[in-house]
Structure 1
């Protein structure tokens, strides 16, 4: 387990904890297993398929692979309805296949993270099958009548009768972690230290320990804020995760928890090592890259974003949210920034084509957040509208299936995803005749894939560009210009039209580390449409903060 190392700082109540050093250097890559690579010809991706492509991922430079749920499930919600936390779903392989993947990744200096769903199980989980029969079982939340919220209560037609509380779909009964506030009108509300909630906390540790012992380096925690019910300010939920963090730091140092909370300023101080800016919490993420006005994305667009072809966006919303979260976190963890995910539209969506997204990757890989690349975004796979529902992907008006199409490995009819007939594929391959693929882009030095490859390599070679560290915003319009570590200048123009800014440094000319459409002239910075550049400043160069001198952060 030497790969994970020891965490910085101390543990225990009130300690100022810091994440493991490896996380600050990481570039995370999210894989949706069913759509990544099919090794056995059944039309569904699997763990062996992931293992067969590790060399490519190592070449790309990503070093931490996060797999969306791959545990046993009836797949009513794409695997987020788990029926056995300790067994790999047969369609993805076996526990031994997971072991082989973890070991093969480790041999390449890469880590594996699994997805953990702690707030609910499948209605087919043995725990729930026992609970629907046994009126003394309180692992789930039961009532003799419909409570609040009304939508979540599902009638139980088995021996116990009554109603159970579900998270999201009816097939996802909520595990009982207690209520933060009692209510005499709702006697089913148990305190967080009741026997049922205590049993579930113990089970949560057992599940994590099982996979930690098999070599998993961490978990992305699904809907991490959903555990304790009626919890104003998430106080009790935060205490629960602080308890888990103390246990991990004590028993499994170097392992991490990445939360799907969407509020880093709350979740990281509570105990998580990192948390996302997400599409459903605030507008920080979508102010950077959204669906595009009028496009067919998974969520309704909120308006212009910074990386928008027409250039009507602003960095202000993102910067305000990032500064607030960064101040609250105070070095105890990271804000994770994803290109997309299994629920939200890809970078290439609507009016934004794959030829336009290189500057978004330049920002992602040089800003002091934790970068998370969704599979296929590195080649410019697009969000595909108009697909049928698959395993609960159509959630009300949210068409999530458009971001879950098969990975495009080559230019063959099946995109190199599977040898099965197309009718058996998990979802249809993107039918666009000009769809991108890995093989074609590997052969083209000017492709998006090579841009991403070079930017990841630059990040790994340059400590000042990694997560944490310092940043100073110099120009917040088009182009966006900022200084990392007082030593590296980054220029990003996310729109179609050229843009200019004053050159803020005096002294010798900087060294170009990466340049795509940006020039330094006597009159200042000239950035072509959809351009970026990274420079190393010469020793002794002086940089003036000509626009936003208050935008600095300390490591």
Structure 2
């Protein structure tokens, strides 16, 4: 199999920007963001310096789970526009040097999808997983309302029936378990390629695969699931070279050898991401472990958990893929959350944009938009104790009505705009050279101009505590202090030249860092 960094240099060098479509920009005044709105705001993303945008699902849906319940993979949801609007966005982004990546829900559909409607009423149709009785795990089996009767297996909510990609292990007590090469699984694998081809042919540069680990059931070690994705990857390399395959798996050491170009550290798979950003407030629900993170106001955290996970992934993948590090996402709390204010998060961006990772900026994090607690459920966002809606509020573009997101009445908005009169906006941050936005833009530009700060140059940790200090390549030094108290560390380098400094000084063999500070330097070796 080809090596992703050789075939996809654009991804290895990229900074991704994650957009939740209903909340980014509303072009037609109905209170919900749309593709034309994204197109109108591409100038901001070009100015910021991102290389690709990743859109959460924008296909036809009943929106029982924010669009992750797809009714038609080949048609843009009417509230976002139509396929011509998608083409216009792709073309306009390309003209600015920005690629478009779509979110593809590969493992399940909406219960309203024509495939499911046919299967629910047709005995012998095996595109989905059917049983004549409730099986284990009980909560995943849903009574069928169609003529077929019986029960179907759901992946997440009951409205999301699992597509049948087979079971890795047979069980004579569960005769509905089909092997991975049965007719139903073969049909679904073929359909997955047809969907991807449809959008690749229209200029899409890649897909982020939702719940990529979930396709083959009862699959110890994800052996059969990995075989499936390797086949997909080999097909992409042959038919659409240069297009990317990204995983929502949360386990890069497993998913990258399975054929993905990149996978993300995620809050629900291990604690690497939580050990950096999670201050035990916001959306986490059952995943919050109560442990302090490195970017903890009082400095109670540690880089140990993150570094162990990183080293494990690097060792397993041998440089054959990229580990994505998001600031947040549609499921996980923003950097600015709870007691952490936007004045505290610049060093988090410094780490993200100088560590050998695939950085992913969640929309609005670049201006310090905050996680908004206490909002009502919206389209399945309140999942048990996980309040995801707080990270999905409208983008704040300017002062005035609805923060420039929409001209609709406030009551018609997808979710409320942050009510804080001191809320940050893009316009306000652009005008303030000291704003978080300018820090982020400067860091992105520095990463692009300095290969040693990108995803492929080696990294060497010099101090694991506060401040966190590491060398990139042969001559670059990064100092990050994620707490309020100043910190010092011995640094044995030669002469230093500051490249981007915010409260850090390196002199006389020591790095001295103010609270919530960062510094990036070029250094010479000691003679």
Residue 81 of structure 1 is matched in structure 2 by 69
Aligned CA-pair RMSD:
1.2
Q: Is the 8 A contact 1:513 1:534 kept in 2?
A: yes
**In 1, are the aligned partners of 2:294 and 2:482 still within 8 Å (CA)?**
yes
Aligned to 2:359: 371
Candidates 144, 147, 153, aligned match of 2:132: 144
Q: Is the 8 A contact 1:19 1:332 kept in 2?
A: no
Distance, in Å, in 2 between the alignment partners of 1:363 and 1:503 is 18
Name the SS for the 2:373 alignment partner.
Answer: coil
Which of 232, 238, 246 is the matching residue for 2:226?
238
- Tell me whether 1:337 sits opposite 2:322 in the alignment: no
2: distance between equivalents of 1:401 and 1:298? 11
Q: Would the aligned equivalents of 2:401 and 2:407 in 1 still touch at CA under 8 Å?
A: no
Secondary structure of the 1:202 match is helix
Distance 1:141 1:504 in 2: 60
Deviation sequence 1:132-190 (CA, Å, 0-9, x none):
11002100000000111111111112110000001111100000000000000000000
C-alpha separation in 1, matches of 2:455 and 2:35: 29
Structure holding more helix per residue: 2
**How far does residue 486 in structure 1 lie from its aligned partner after superposition?**
1.6
1:447 aligns with 2:432: no
Long gaps (5+) in structure 1: 1-9, 543-555
Matched, 1:500 2:488: yes
Is residue 309 of structure 2 the alignment partner of residue 324 of structure 1? no
CA distance in 2, matches of 1:150, 1:484: 50
Q: Aligned partners of 1:466, 1:116: CA distance in 2, in Å?
A: 27
Q: Distance in 2 between matches of 1:152 and 1:272?
A: 27
Instruction: Find the counterpart in structure 1 of residue 166 from structure 2.
Output: 178
Secondary structure of 1:140's aligned partner: coil
| Residue 541 of structure 1, CA deviation | 4.0
CA distance in 1 between counterparts of 2:205 and 2:333 reads: 27
- Give the match's secondary structure for 1:123: coil
In 2, the alpha carbon distance for the partners of 1:541 and 1:326 equals: 29
Normalising by structure 2, report the TM-score: 0.98
2:513 equivalent to 1:527:
yes
Distance 1:313 1:503 in 2: 21
Give runs of aligned pairs for residues 15-414 of structure 1, distance below 5 A.
18-290=6-278, 292-293=279-280, 295-299=281-285, 300-414=288-402
State the distance in 1 between where 2:77 and 2:369 align: 27
Does the Cα contact within 8 Å between 1:19 and 1:273 map onto a contact in 2? no
SS of the residue corresponding to residue 75 of structure 2 reads strand
- Aligned residue number for residue 502 of structure 2: 516
CA offset digits 1:450-499 (Å, max 9, x no partner): 00000000000001111122000001100000000121100000000000
Distance in 1 separating the partners of 2:7 and 2:298: 39
Shift of 1:265: 0.1
**Using the alignment, how far apart are the partners of 2:60 and 2:36 within structure 1?**
16
Determine if the alignment matches structure 1 residue 485 to structure 2 residue 473.
yes
